Amino acid sequence: MADPLRALLALCCLALLTVPASAAPLDRAAFAADLCGDGAAQVRGAEGLVQAAGDLAADDLAFAGGLLGALAERRLACPAEGALLLGRPGAPEGRDALTGATRPAAEARAPVLGLRQRAAVETARGTVALLTGPDPAARVAGLAVLERRIATVPAAVLDRARDAETDAALKGTITGLAHAAALSSPDPARRRAAIAAVAASPSGAAQARLAALKGDPAYSADPAFRAALDAGLAQVSRAVAVGDGLAVFYNGLSFASILFMAAAGLAIIFGLMGVINLAQGEFIMLGAYATYGVQEAFRRLAPGLLDLYLLAAVPVAFAAVALVGIAVEALILRHLYRRPLMSLLATWAVSLFLVNLVRVTVGTQNLQFVMPAYVSGGVPLYADFVMTWNRLFAIGFAAATLVLTLLILRRTPLGLDIRAVTQNRDMAACLGLPTRRVDRLAFGLGSGLAGLAGVALCPIYSVNPGMGSGFIADSFMVVVLGGVGSLIGTLVAALGVGGANVLIEPVSGAVAAKVIVLVGIILFLQRRPEGLFAVRRRR
């Protein structure tokens, strides 16, 4: 940009700041025409509104907000004359934006937002929400949008929002943001305050904004500025590093909990019976389909409680898949305990059968899940670290499963039997334990755990008939590494494999990470074939 132009702009901005709010009214017809125009006109209209928003009357802002919302939600129709607000996208008639009269929308064009226009409209909607939002939550949401593109928001908007704000916490946030917006202010003191304000809410973007100031002439000329910038940058880089560390930890933990969920049932089945259950992935898939069934039942019977379906699905998925597991054991596997290779082939056949059964009865498409608020989105915790709810759900779910399974294994008669049979089947039988019954119940427990994994995975992965095949290799890796039959070993191995994957991935890529982890496991098993935690048994 040419220097005289910049000076002129700065003058204009100053003039805007000093002149008291003259409240020039919004040219509503022109604004509507802009939003109905081509891409450039839409951007002009939305950006013009943001620039003028500091001085506009509240009803003008509300009018603009209505139009912008309709445009973003595809409820704006553009006939040859004026603009129509529709009740829903594609409605046959709508209300004229200016007169309120109802007119048919049959021949009207419904504009589609391009990316540039979308950004401008989002900013404008955020501005309107910040200035006229009925409650603090709406205004916070508006502010969050503006924060992303703070460089394009005029100071007048933030000043007006701050003056009008009644919520003390929000007022503080707006003040901080207004400070941070003054990074290129001509006043050195304000600039230093802006650096401190930017550094106070650290992120990768803040780091980039501050780092860009190193090229500023003031950096070499003004020692106070340099000191402030260096201190701010150091603070931000420290915070970003901590945030990245947290993210690695969280990613590792959440991946580990998914691995653990997938492998826990397998560890019990493999440890007890020596059966390599290749259908374990399909049991997970069945658990996810059971969850879907529960969701559909809620939708039919209790639509108001729909958000709770994930919790209600926990016992259903466990019981349903445990029953399938018991049926498989009773029909097929019990005949094959003395022939491990055959049992491996049989479970493979079961897995193929289950995939095709689901494929034929339900179809191959990804299932449509309603994502309740507690498993969708996330919350930015510190610097760039975002805690996503679906992964947190998986972590909590895995922890609960671990505790419950340990309780069953350590504190119940069934657990005692399972441990006895695992350690020495023949001796347990001699002592009168019904080993066949224990086998069946343990297989049911292991399958039920796979069903639970299905519930936990619904909010994270796509659910379709083929989803199980992705888990089987990973879970065997974890079970074998952990030491066959040891639940604690499975947990430690899951943490190890998950953490290693997450640590290696950024360095050498996802493909290499998988290979490196696999090679690592092979090398480890060479030295210690019984895995991390071997169950002691008499030979």
Partner 1 sequence: MTHLTRRGVLGTAALLAAPALIRPAFAADTVKLGCLFSSSGTMANLEGRLNHVVRMAADAINGRGGVNGRQIEVLTSDPASDWPLYAQVGRQMLQQEKVAALFGCWTSVSRKSVLPVVEQNDGLLFYPLHFEGDENSKNVVYVNSPPASSVLPAVDYLMGPDGVGAKRFFMIGSDYVWPRTINKQLKGYWKSKGIPESAWREEYVPFGFSNFQTLVNQVRSFASQPGGQAIVVLTVVGSSIPDFLREFANQGISATDVPILGLDMVEADLEGLDTGKLAGHLNCWAYLQAAKGERNQKFLADWAAYVKAKNVPFSADTVIDPMVSAYDSVHLWALAAAKAGSFAVPEVRKAFAGLSFDDPSGYTLTMTGENNYVSRGVFIGSVNEKRGFDVLWQSPNAPKPVPFSPYG
Closest listed residue to residue 70, CA positions, set 35, 108, 119, 105: 35
411 contacts partner 1 (rule: CB under 8 A): no
345 contacts partner 1 (rule: CB under 8 A): yes
Q: How far apart are CA 329 and CA 425, in angstroms?
A: 17
Q: Which stretch binds partner 1 (CB under 8 A): 168-176, 227-235, 386-394, 398-406?
A: 386-394
Q: Which of 368, 413, 432, 539 binds partner 1 (CB under 8 A)?
A: 368
Say if strands 84-86 and 93-96 run parallel, antiparallel, or are unpaired.
antiparallel
Three-state DSSP state, 184 = helix
Q: Which of 291, 390, 405, 486 binds partner 1 (CB under 8 A)?
A: 390
Are 233 and 196 contacting, i.e. CB atoms less than 8 angstroms apart? no
C-alpha distance from residue 191 to each of 143, 154, 202, 207, 278 (Å): 22, 16, 17, 16, 64
102 contacts partner 1 (rule: CB under 8 A): no
Partners of residue 84 on adjacent β-strands: 77, 96
Task: Say which amino acid occupies 280.
Answer: Q
Number of residues that bind partner 1 (CB under 8 A): 79
Closest approach of partner 1 to the CB of residue 325, in Å: 16
Closest listed residue to residue 452, CA positions, set 496, 394, 368: 394
Q: Which stretch binds partner 1 (CB under 8 A): 91-99, 152-160, 198-206, 481-489?
A: 198-206
Nearer to partner 1, 116 or 411 (CB): 116
Q: How far apart are CA 82 and CA 96, in angstroms?
A: 7
Partners of residue 378 on adjacent β-strands: 388
Nearer to partner 1, 185 or 376 (CB): 376
Q: Which stretch binds partner 1 (CB under 8 A): 19-27, 28-36, 267-275, 354-362?
A: 354-362
CA dihedral sign, ordered 185, 187, 190, 191: positive
Under rule CB under 8 A, which residues in 53-92 are in contact with partner 1? 73-74, 89
Tokens 């639509």 sit on residue: 303
340 contacts partner 1 (rule: CB under 8 A): no
12 contacts partner 1 (rule: CB under 8 A): no
Are 293 and 463 contacting, i.e. CB atoms less than 8 angstroms apart? no
249 contacts partner 1 (rule: CB under 8 A): no
Under rule CB under 8 A, which residues in 203-242 are in contact with partner 1? 203-205, 207-208, 211-212
244 contacts partner 1 (rule: CB under 8 A): yes
Write the binding mask 25 to 54 for partner 1: x where contact by CB under 8 A, - elsewhere.
--------------x---------------
Nearer to partner 1, 242 or 535 (CB): 242
Q: Which of 179, 391, 425, 440 binds partner 1 (CB under 8 A)?
A: 391
Q: Which stretch binds partner 1 (CB under 8 A): 131-139, 180-188, 368-376, 516-524?
A: 368-376
Nearer to partner 1, 454 or 483 (CB): 454
386 contacts partner 1 (rule: CB under 8 A): yes
Q: Which stretch binds partner 1 (CB under 8 A): 98-106, 190-198, 378-386, 440-448?
A: 378-386
Burial class of residue 483 (count of CB atoms within 10 Å of its CB; 0-12, 13-18, 19+): buried
Q: Which of 331, 407, 522, 523 binds partner 1 (CB under 8 A)?
A: 331
Burial class of residue 222 (count of CB atoms within 10 Å of its CB; 0-12, 13-18, 19+): middle
Q: How far apart are CA 447 and CA 453, in angstroms?
A: 10
Q: Which of 104, 340, 378, 434 binds partner 1 (CB under 8 A)?
A: 378
Q: Which of 219, 382, 389, 524 binds partner 1 (CB under 8 A)?
A: 389
Write the binding mask 263 to 302 for partner 1: x where contact by CB under 8 A, - elsewhere.
----------------------------------------
Under rule CB under 8 A, which residues in 436-495 are in contact with partner 1? 460-467, 469-470
Phi-psi region of 383 (alpha: psi -120 to 50; beta: other; left: phi over 0): left
Spatial CB neighbours of 234, under 8 Å, sequence gap ≥ 6: none
377 contacts partner 1 (rule: CB under 8 A): yes
Closest approach of partner 1 to the CB of residue 214, in Å: 11
Nearer to partner 1, 68 or 484 (CB): 68
- What DSSP letter does each residue of 64-97 carry, written as one string? HHHHHHHHHTT-EEB-SSS-EEESSTT-SEEEET
Three-state DSSP state, 165 = coil
